[in-house]
Amino acid sequence: MRPEREPSFFGSGTANLHLAARRLYFPVMLWRISPGRSRRSKPAGFIVPAQPALVARPPTGPNWIHEVKHDGYRLIARKEADRVTLWTRHGTDFTDRLPRIAEAVPSLPVEGALIDGEAVVFRPDGHSDFAALRTKRGAERAAFVAFDLLNVDGEDVRKLPLETRRARLEALIKPDGAILFSDAIKGDGALVFAKACELGVEGIVSKRLGGVYLSGPCRNWLKVKNPAFVRG
């Protein structure tokens, strides 16, 4: 297993910190989830994603890793041979709305997988653009930032330690594609959060090493938001 490393996004010292407030505009209608498409009963195969607890300060100590919190749609991606389903965190089917991601998932080198992640539109400066994601044109170019593996080839891996799940997930993903592996930093949470705020991202999610995957609200994952973040 490779050690967690500092992602290149954090190493971008030339990032313009004020670009987080800029927006890309598209002359198309914004999308909203209509009540008719929102499901009360969860679809077969869907797993409710982990919901990190919102905290004021990141955790300290060596037992945590920290990931960038991107501003996008939470997504559960399922592959069954060549069949793909992309669910939002509430179980709404978004497969047709995110064609680039839907076309990339079948290339994963396994017969079946269930992956937790985020659909994100990235600007050239590396920041996420939520306004673009809400448009048809923007959603069509969204990437899938994958950060956890829940099932692979019929094996439920949610009880495995976080670092084991992440290592197995990373092994499935080819770099520079429509599916990106969410890099993490193992270090002082306060320093990581300060750097995230400096770069103008939404915040960080800190995850407990050795932790199992828990659906719904949990404290194995802790979310800290950048108070100065401006949604694009």
> Could you report how far apart the first and last alpha carbons of the chain are, in Å?
36
Of the residues 42, 69, 159, 223, only one is catalytic, namely 69
195 in active site: no
- Return the active site residues: 69
